[in-house]
Structure 1
Amino acid sequence: MRVGVAGVGRIGRPHAERLMAHSDVAEILVQDASTDLARSVAGDLDLRYVPTYDELLQSVDALVIAATTTAHAELLQASVEAGVPTLCEKPISHDLQRSREVVALIHQRNVPVQMGFQRRFDPGFQAAADLVAAGGLGTLYTFRTTGHDPEPATEAYIAGSGGMFRDFSVHDFDALRFVTGEEVVQVFAQTTVRKWDVYGRFDDCDTAIATCTLSGGALGLLSYTRHNPLGYDIRMELFGSRDSVVVGWDPRLPLRSLEPTGPPLGAEPYPDFHDRFADAYSAEVDAFLDVARGRQPVRSTADDAVEALRAAIACDISSRENRPVALAEVT
């Protein structure tokens, strides 16, 4: 199988490296809007450089889209029109209508498209989903998700990120849907800039919270910061009538207990998302190659991406208008 990678920056290059380990992959072709970057990565990894996206589509059996966010919709539309099975990093687009246009095309052409929600392939999140599905948690009372970046993003990234909720929270909204099997029905979000003024220059925030109601009635809290001096912290806590569990609590959790007998801070807290989700990204690529071969159905669909985006947009509206927003309003 010949697999293309469109965009070989901080997400695309690691994907190319993962593909190199697969016996199913005979050749990896790379392309990027920056020809210098694409040539450099191709040279470093001994891969085939392709100068244009059109040529890439004509030369591969499957494709990974990891280009800049604003290019996703156009690139994905073209790959679907070409009939190429595609793994696309989130989002399809920050715009709901544009996303839905691409999803409609995916359904029309019946081309396999897997979205890059890697938490669905993480062992902890999968265990949580299995526990809920088996009834082990009982009635879900409340939940909490935590997302703390280790360092603020670059100004260039912030400018095109779409903001805290569309960039960061979409992962939590997708994970909540995956784990609980329920839909988000209402949110109430608040944001602020506590320290990093660069976010404010782009009408963004460095700190945010959102309360969330699921379709089954459970209530939860999502909390975010763009800076955690101890490392990259992603957790989900679920509290039910039969059990209370947490995803993301392991020896590398970047959180310090102040209890006299509490666990010490680990020697190697997670420094970034690549490290925290290394196994998940590998499993995600494994699954995609099986999808491209027709061996399994897509586990993270474009429709899932639209639902996560709707929840993020609801948070943006809520924060701006200082009121609860029902997902039914986001059409």
Structure 2
Amino acid sequence: MSARLRVLLVGAGRMGARHAKVIAANERCDLIRVVDPCERTGRAVAEQVGAAWRPELDTLSDVNAVMVAACTEVHHDLAVQILRQGKPLLVEKPLCDDFAACREVVRLADQRDIPLMCGLLERYNPAVMTAMTIVDSPLHMTSVRRAPYASRIRTGVAWDLLVHDIDVALRVFGGRLPDTVNATTGYFHSQSAERAEDVVDAVLRFPGGRLATASASRVDQRRLRTIVITEIDRVVEVDLLHNEVLVVRQAGDSTIVDTPDLVSARTPLETQLDRFLDIVGGDICGRAERRSILPVHHVISSILDTVPVSAVA
């Protein structure tokens, strides 16, 4: 049996705490240290999982891999620091909130052939995974993602939420980048950072005239995450919050609705962690994983570039 990998976690906020529990429960690795500048938060998470706490990142000589779940604004600097020490890295989405910075991080990992993964978590949502096994000839995809306002998140809704659905759209349409991108944004909440959009609606046109429309809002009063994929003779409806998939088709005057079994009963974080460990262990191609990171970041950057400066409050 191979030795358990020693993992360090950076970030002990809401998402970091979830990662800590999943890492600690995995039989293939040990969470040895939690890094967070806030002692109260960092110590609390570390003690829950039997790990040490440190206020800042220092030497990584005693760890095999690092996971970053800190705020987006520090992703780039942390990623560069970690990769320069040669450590495999998983960074929560987005990799960075600037496409040039994303390219720099991926290029550094490529140059040193270091495993790098971005936490595009819907890839591992059981409902999305199930839908991907069903979809054959997609023509149109629509996605709606809504969430209540969270003042702790300083990046705009495109990088924070829409990135998930754009990533799914790219996969639905075979990994191709769209031919055209158009978007409209809204800036509404008084607590949002300058130039951080609260609502975004985007339309992507893919080769062959196929379309994806994606809408995300962080000023709603409830959470909603749905995807509908249309083919010529059926529709695949996905409820990402409740892990439900419906396949709907017409037969004469009747509507037939099938409910396929999910391909996995595991949580997205559990599946994602195992994939990361497989990449670190060389069981999955690290180069292919790195190549899968930039396309969605490129599209999000393109979406934001379509918004006139005058539209920003």
After TM superposition, the score normalised by the length of structure 2 is: 0.82
In structure 1, the gaps of 5 or more residues are 254-276, 324-331
Shift in Å at residue 166 of structure 1? 2.2
Counterpart Cα distance in 2 of 1:177 and 1:234: 17
Change (3 A) 1:220 1:26: closer
Pairs aligned (count): 286
The structure where helix makes up a greater share of residues is 1
Q: Matched residues in 2 for 1:168 and 1:300: separation?
A: 24
Q: For 1:150-299, list aligned pairs within 5 A.
A: 151-154=148-151, 156-158=152-154, 161=155, 163-181=156-174, 182-193=176-187, 196-199=189-192, 202-229=194-221, 231-248=222-239, 279-298=267-286
Which structure has greater strand proportion? 2
Question: How far did residue 305 of structure 1 move?
Answer: 3.0
Q: CA deviation at 1:127?
A: 2.0
Seen in structure 2, the aligned counterparts of structure 1 residues 119 and 298 have a Cα distance that, compared at 3 Å, is farther
Query: Where does residue 38 of structure 2 map in the other structure?
Result: 34
1:308 aligned onto 2:288: no
- Where 1:72 maps in the other structure, the secondary structure is helix
**Equivalent-residue separation in structure 1 for 2:66 and 2:229 (angstroms):** 36
Equivalent residues of 1:115, 1:300 under 8 A apart: no
Q: How big is each residue's C-alpha offset from its partner over 1:119-163, in whole Å with a ceiling of 9 and x where there is no partner? A: 11112211222223xx3xx3x2221011101x1111x423xx1x2
Distance 1:107 1:178 in 2: 22
TM-score by length of 1: 0.78
Q: What is the CA-CA distance between 1:193 and the residue it aligns to?
A: 4.2
- SS of the residue corresponding to residue 119 of structure 1 reads helix
Alpha-carbon displacement from aligned partner over 1:60-117 (angstroms, at most 9, x marks no partner): 1111111121111121122222221111112222222222111111111001111100
- Superimposed CA distance per residue, residues 21-69 of structure 1 (whole angstroms, 9 cap, x where no aligned partner): 11112443111132342223222332122343123x2221111111121
Q: Per the alignment, do residues 245 and 54 of structure 1 end up closer, same or farther by CA in structure 2, a change over 3 Å counting?
A: same
| TM-aligned CA deviation for residue 245 of structure 1 | 0.5
5+ residue gaps, structure 2, are: 245-264
Q: How far apart, in 2, do the equivalents of 1:217 and 1:285 lie?
A: 36
**SS of equivalent to 2:87:** coil
1:320–1:278 distance in 2 versus 1, CA, 3 Å = farther
- Would you say the 8 A contact 1:19–1:28 is kept in 2? no
Contact 2:182 2:306 in 1 (8 A): yes
Question: What residue in structure 2 maps to residue 86 of structure 1?
Answer: 89
Partner of 1:191, secondary structure, is: strand
Distance 1:198 1:119, change over 3 A: same
SS in 1 for 2:25: coil
